[in-house]
Amino acid sequence: MANSNLPRRIIKETQRLLSEPAPGISASPSEDNMRYFNVMILGPTQSPYEGGVFKLELFLPEEYPMAAPKVLFPSLEEM
């Protein structure tokens, strides 16, 4: 994991995310920018979203954690 100029907090949180993934969620940092993540969330069982796969992009701004992460749901054309 390239970590040039990243705050220690982001490095630790990313390592934890990769070593202890939450059930039904996968997130991987971009090789080019460790503040940018591709995320995939599986719809929970026994819910209207069961069987769904939800892709999103997450970006940690320079001000993180004092500023919230930015999340984008790409359009179908981009997927």
In a domain, 23, yes or no: yes
The number of folded domains in the chain is 1
Q: Is residue 78 within a helix (H) or strand (E), and if so which, with residue range?
A: none
Candidate from 4-8, 12-16, 18-22, 28-32 with smallest mean pLDDT: 4-8
**Six token digits for residue 7:** 């705050």
Boundaries of domain holding 65? 8-72
What distance separates the 2 farthest-apart alpha carbons in the chain? 43
User: Where residue 57 sits, what CATH number does that domain have?
Assistant: 3.10.110.10
Name the burial class of residue 22, with classes exposed (0-12), middle (13-18) and buried (19+) by CB atoms within 10 angstroms of its CB: exposed
What's the one-letter identity of residue 65?
P
Q: Is the pLDDT of residue 79 over 80?
A: no
Confidence of residue 76 (pLDDT cuts 50, 70, 90): low
In a domain, 2, yes or no: no
Q: What is the pLDDT of residue 75?
A: 72
Average pLDDT value for residue range 8-36: 94
- Model pLDDT for residues 4-13, shown as the tens digit of each residue: 689 999 999 9
**Six token digits for residue 19:** 């070593």
